[in-house]
């Protein structure tokens, strides 16, 4: 007979499936901390299932590393900063470890491992989700963060979707996304850095891991946000500041900042897939000059090459490229050419033969060079993750310098191949630590851009313009970026605005999109609106695909030509403001094109999908992009006072307003207390403007300053102090505009200053510091969106003219 089953046995039997499941779980958590070592600003620890390390990089930056195995080589393509010596207090007891700086506190719970970040006064900034923290599923590693009440998320680089990424998930795997939809993910580049916002706090998290990474901001769950990668270690930097702008500054202190670009690259660029032969290139340039549409760049797509082979010219289409580029230069144009990474497999082709000889191509594990198909046919790919491969490419780039080329456009560098499916077992050097394609894929485009930049800088002996389609965090050190193969649709135009804004939030200031849409033909009204917006983009290029209608401004009729001329001319008049704003980007990492989330972080209205496309262009201009099909549109004005750019009509902030919009006028406003330097109209940045710099000052109730900057616009002499820098300040309390003493050894190109006052009382007097009194002059003209043959005329509501001396002086009113 059977013995009766006891209650305890019944309980054990019922729990057995759960116990078995727990014991064989495919998910491995870090577990309890079992050992701790403290050395200076670093805490190393062992858990039941992982090794960890937490390092204070600065008072506001903490680095967190975890791996199931021992922590590996400390190497990064993105991070160039070293920890800054910081006053840190580290304490521990049986339950927790506490790391405190003057800016934040990190509290690490031991049982089990988890981390929470606090403000100095004890508010929770970010915390691991209890019960999940950091865990592994096979080689995938993910960190889970508790989603705070009302939390928003912005940034993450070149990502489609809304400004506020709450409720969405994203994957980073650089992808050739031809004609991508407005919701496609992933697309071309990887910047695994985002900013979380809640309860008047904001923080940044940068996951420095080049494997495919995934971010979840409450997609399909209501419990957590998370970030992780499909290999490698959990390696992230936590950044806290009170101001969102300072988070961007700290992030770019970690990953580096852009160099000053060549001045010409900020001008209008005329592109086409594709211009050939050389007579057609010269015709386009001549037409721009004849129609008085200012322009600085002509770009050649793949048809300039001999059968699409790199480092060649098609001798039928371009028999003398050096002579052609000399003619273009004489007309005020600079040439950029496209380069793809694939080297055609062809005996006798010099680039292929030298690549074989120097053994610089990526390989299968059996040492056979990997071959993929792109434009030339079957190609091998240089290994830009090896110094040998980068050196080979740097040497090859001299080919372009020798042919009068000053810009290199890196394309197809995701890596793109026909089929878009490179095998995972292809091997890369990864700077001495052999890596598979899974680890190297996302870094490849950035390292190609790096190699092009370094090679061009060496061989051209001047600042090159480098453009890329793919990249990784830190690419701002080498290159500009554009948003790839977009479409001529209203939705895509506004998506492009958000993509550039998100790139700016993610440390990438020099970005643009194909004006008019690359794949297809835009309507006349769409093209007009797009070029108006493009005039307020950091990188301003018009580009259209093969087998579409040509999309130069004049192909859309006289009215659109006039609109294009007016807004391109306005950009050229604003060049002193724009160049100075790029200088700011080199110093602080602040983007040129700025999401309103930077300055108005906690204003919920700016995240409303109605208003999420609005942005600041530098510190002064509020740009309101709307579809070209709208006659009326709802705009939101953040707090403060705003001036209509064209009429000086004042608009109070903190409110919505219905605007009447038209094809020939992009709504643009100027923030109170702004300081906007302008110059006379030129048709190319190679042409010297008149010797008077116009300083526009907008009356307001807040103090403001603007750093005006000049250098020669082409060399690296500015790195040795050969520049002109001057801080201009506006103080509404002292009723003064102060020009600080000029810094640097460069002599300004402007001999005179014309101060232009907006919003000031008609009867006011101006007093210079030498007690000279000047009355306001009468109004001359206002901005006219219709323009004239010479473009938009400058506002001169009330003016005074002064000699541009380098000493300090002030004007009071």
Angle between the 350-358 and 387-402 helix axes, to the nearest 10 degrees?
160
pLDDT tens digits along 222-276? 999 999 999 999 999 999 999 999 999 999 999 999 999 999 999 999 999 999 9
Please name the residue that has the structure tokens 């998506």.
495
pLDDT under 70: residue ranges of the chain: 1-24, 762-764, 769-797
- Rounded Cα distance, 52 and 36, in Å: 9
State yes or no: is 631 an active-site residue. no
Instruction: For residue 247, give the H/E element and its range.
Output: helix 244-255
| Other CB atoms within 10 A of residue 558 CB | 8
Please give the distance of CA 394 from its chain centroid, rounded to a whole number. 24
Q: What is the pLDDT of residue 800?
A: 79
Structure-token pair, residue 344:
């055609």
**Residue from 728, 714, 724 nearest 745 by CA:** 724
- Rounded Cα distance, 537 and 44, in Å: 45
Q: What is the pLDDT of residue 779?
A: 36
In a 3-state reduction of DSSP, which class is residue 10?
helix
**Residue from 179, 214, 172, 682 nearest 473 by CA:** 172
Q: What is the pLDDT of residue 813?
A: 84
Q: What is the pLDDT of residue 23?
A: 56
Q: What is the pLDDT of residue 812?
A: 87
- Rounded Cα distance, 798 and 757, in Å: 5
Angle between the 575-588 and 558-573 helix axes, to the nearest 10 degrees?
60
- Rounded Cα distance, 380 and 356, in Å: 10
Half-sphere exposure in the Cβ direction for 620 (13 Å, CA): 25
- Rounded Cα distance, 463 and 457, in Å: 6
CATH fold group of domain 263-405+415-462+478-484+510-588: TIM Barrel (3.20.20)
In a 3-state reduction of DSSP, which class is residue 501?
helix
- Rounded Cα distance, 573 and 130, in Å: 56
Structure-token pair, residue 605:
């209205």
Q: What is the pLDDT of residue 534?
A: 98
**What is the length of the chain?**
813
Structure-token pair, residue 397:
């780039």
pLDDT tens digits along 544-601? 999 888 889 999 999 999 999 999 999 999 999 999 999 999 999 999 999 999 999 9
What one-character DSSP code corresponds to residue 472? Answer: B
For 505, residues 6+ apart whose C-beta sits below 8 A from its C-beta are 154, 155, 195, 248, 591, 595, 597, 598
Preceding peptide of 277 cis, ω within 30°: yes
Q: What is the DSSP string of 95-125?
A: SEEEEE-SS-EEEEETTTTEEEEE-TTS-EE
| Other CB atoms within 10 A of residue 347 CB | 7
- Rounded Cα distance, 35 and 725, in Å: 53
**Residue from 114, 226, 115, 124 nearest 170 by CA:** 226
Q: What is the pLDDT of residue 763?
A: 62
* Long-range Cβ pairs for the range 581-584 (8 Å, 24+): 581/618, 581/619, 582/258, 582/260, 582/261, 582/266, 582/509, 582/510, 582/538, 583/260, 583/707, 583/709, 583/725, 584/618, 584/707
**Residue from 597, 577, 732 nearest 645 by CA:** 577
Q: What is the pLDDT of residue 416?
A: 97
Catalytic residue among 414, 514, 584, 711: 414
Please name the residue that has the structure tokens 């009509």.
649
Output phi, psi for 59, to 5 deg.
-55, -20
Q: Are strands 140-146 and 704-710 parallel, antiparallel or unpaired?
A: unpaired
- Rounded Cα distance, 510 and 496, in Å: 14
* Secondary-structure breakdown of the chain: helix, strand, coil percentages, each rounded to the nearest 5: 25, 30, 45
- Rounded Cα distance, 484 and 179, in Å: 8
Q: Are strands 435-436 and 465-468 parallel, antiparallel or unpaired?
A: unpaired
State yes or no: is 102 an active-site residue. no
Instruction: For residue 273, give the H/E element and its range.
Output: none
Backbone CA torsion sign across 311, 312, 317, 320: positive
For 271, residues 6+ apart whose C-beta sits below 8 A from its C-beta are 297, 298, 299, 301, 514, 541, 542, 543, 544
Domain ranges of the chain: 27-255, 263-405+415-462+478-484+510-588
Checking phi first, is residue 753 left (phi over 0); if not, alpha (psi -120 to 50) or beta? beta
Catalytic residue among 67, 208, 214, 411: 411
Q: Options 3.40.50.300, 3.20.20.140, 2.60.40.1760, 3.90.1150.10; which CATH number does 27-255 get?
A: 2.60.40.1760
Structure-token pair, residue 337:
């050419």
Checking phi first, is residue 678 left (phi over 0); if not, alpha (psi -120 to 50) or beta? beta
State yes or no: is 485 an active-site residue. yes
Q: What is the pLDDT of residue 788?
A: 34
Answer yes or no: are the C-beta atoms of 58 and 83 closer than 8 Å: yes
Residue spans of alpha helices (H) in 74-178: none
Backbone CA torsion sign across 335, 340, 342, 345: negative
Catalytic residue among 67, 485, 489, 672: 485
For the chain, the first-to-last Cα distance in angstroms comes to 109
Q: What is the pLDDT of residue 234?
A: 98
- Rounded Cα distance, 696 and 796, in Å: 8
In a 3-state reduction of DSSP, which class is residue 560?
helix
Answer yes or no: are the C-beta atoms of 290 and 297 closer than 8 Å: no
């Amino acid at each position: 007979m059977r013995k009766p089953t006891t209650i305890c046995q019944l309980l054990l039997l019922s729990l057995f499936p759960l116990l078995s499941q727990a014991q064989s779980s495919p998910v491995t958590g870090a577990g309890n901390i079992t050992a701790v070592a403290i050395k200076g600003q670093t805490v190393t620890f062992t858990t039941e299932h992982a090794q960890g390390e937490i390092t204070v990089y600065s008072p506001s930056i903490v680095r967190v590393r975890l791996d199931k195995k021992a922590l590996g080589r400390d190497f990064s393509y993105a991070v160039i900063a070293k920890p800054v010596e910081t006053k840190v207090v580290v304490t521990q007891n049986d339950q927790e470890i506490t790391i405190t700086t003057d800016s934040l506190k990190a509290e690490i719970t031991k049982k089990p491992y988890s981390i929470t970040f606090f403000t100095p006064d004890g508010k929770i900034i970010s915390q691991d989700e209890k019960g999940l923290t950091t865990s592994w599923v096979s080689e995938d590693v993910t960190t889970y963060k508790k989603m705070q009440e009302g939390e928003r998320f912005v940034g993450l680089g070149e990502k489609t979707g809304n400004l506020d990424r709450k409720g969405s998930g994203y994957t980073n795997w650089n992808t050739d996304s031809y004609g991508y939809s407005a919701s496609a993910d992933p697309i071309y580049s990887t910047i695994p850095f985002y900013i979380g916002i809640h309860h008047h706090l904001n923080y940044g998290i940068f996951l420095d891991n080049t494997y495919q990474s995934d971010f979840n901001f409450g997609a399909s769950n209501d419990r957590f946000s998370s970030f992780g990668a499909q290999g490698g270690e959990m390696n992230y930097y936590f950044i806290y500041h009170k101001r969102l702008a300072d988070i961007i500054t700290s992030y770019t202190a970690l990953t580096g900042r852009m160099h000053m670009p060549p001045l010409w690259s900020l001008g209008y660029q005329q592109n086409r897939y594709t211009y050939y032969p050389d007579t057609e290139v010269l015709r386009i340039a001549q037409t721009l000059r004849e129609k008085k549409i200012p322009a600085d760049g002509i770009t050649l797509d793949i048809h300039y090459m001999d059968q699409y082979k790199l480092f060649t010219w098609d001798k039928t289409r371009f028999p003398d490229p050096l002579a052609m580029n000399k003619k273009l230069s004489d007309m005020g144009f600079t040439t950029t050419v496209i380069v793809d990474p694939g080297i055609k497999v062809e005996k006798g082709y010099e680039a292929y033969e030298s690549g074989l000889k120097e053994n610089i191509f990526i390989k299968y594990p059996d040492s056979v060079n990997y071959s993929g198909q792109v434009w030339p046919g079957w190609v091998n790919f240089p290994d830009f993750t090896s110094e040998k491969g980068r050196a080979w490419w740097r040497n090859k780039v001299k080919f372009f310098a020798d042919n009068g080329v000053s810009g290199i456009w890196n394309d197809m560098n995701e890596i793109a191949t026909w089929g878009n499916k490179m095998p995972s077992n292809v091997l890369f050097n990864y700077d001495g630590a052999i890596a598979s394609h899974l680890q190297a894929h996302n870094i490849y485009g950035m390292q190609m851009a790096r190699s092009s930049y370094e090679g061009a800088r060496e061989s051209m002996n001047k600042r090159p313009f480098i453009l890329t389609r793919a990249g990784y965090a830190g690419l701002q050190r080498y290159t500009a970026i554009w948003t790839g193969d977009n479409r001529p649709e209203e939705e895509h135009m506004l998506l492009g605005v958000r993509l550039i804004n998100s790139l700016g939030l993610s440390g990438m200031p020099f970005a643009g999109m194909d004006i008019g849409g690359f794949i297809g033909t835009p309507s006349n009204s769409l093209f007009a609106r797009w070029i108006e917006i493009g005039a307020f983009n950091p990188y301003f290029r018009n580009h259209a695909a093969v087998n579409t209608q040509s999309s130069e401004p004049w192909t859309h009729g006289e009215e659109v030509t006039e609109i294009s001329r007016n807004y391109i001319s306005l950009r050229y008049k604003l060049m002193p403001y724009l160049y100075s704003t790029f200088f700011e980007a080199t110093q602080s990492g602040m983007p040129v094109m700025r999401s309103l989330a930077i300055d108005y972080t906690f204003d919920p209205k700016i995240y409303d999908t109605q208003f999420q496309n609005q942005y600041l262009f530098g510190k002064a201009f509020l740009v309101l992009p709307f579809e070209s099909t709208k006659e009326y549109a709802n705009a939101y004005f953040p707090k403060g006072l705003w001036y209509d750019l064209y009429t000086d009509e004042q608009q109070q902030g903190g409110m919505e307003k219905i605007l009447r919009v038209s094809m020939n006028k992009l709504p643009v406003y100027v923030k109170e207390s702004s300081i906007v330097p302008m110059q006379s109209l030129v048709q190319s940045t190679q042409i010297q403007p008149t010797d008077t710099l116009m300083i526009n000052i907008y009356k307001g109730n807040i103090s403001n300053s603007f750093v005006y900057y000049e250098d020669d616009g082409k060399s690296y002499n500015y790195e040795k102090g050969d520049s002109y820098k001057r801080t201009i300040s506006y103080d509404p309390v002292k009723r003064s505009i102060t020009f600080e003493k000029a810094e640097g050894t460069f002599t300004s190109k402007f001999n005179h200053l014309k101060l232009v006052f907006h919003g000031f009382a008609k009867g006011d007097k101006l007093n210079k510091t030498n007690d000279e009194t000047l009355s306001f002059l009468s109004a001359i003209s206002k901005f006219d969106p219709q323009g004239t043959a010479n473009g938009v005329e400058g506002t001169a509501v009330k003016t005074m003219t002064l000699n541009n001396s380098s000493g300090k002086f002030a004007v009071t009113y």
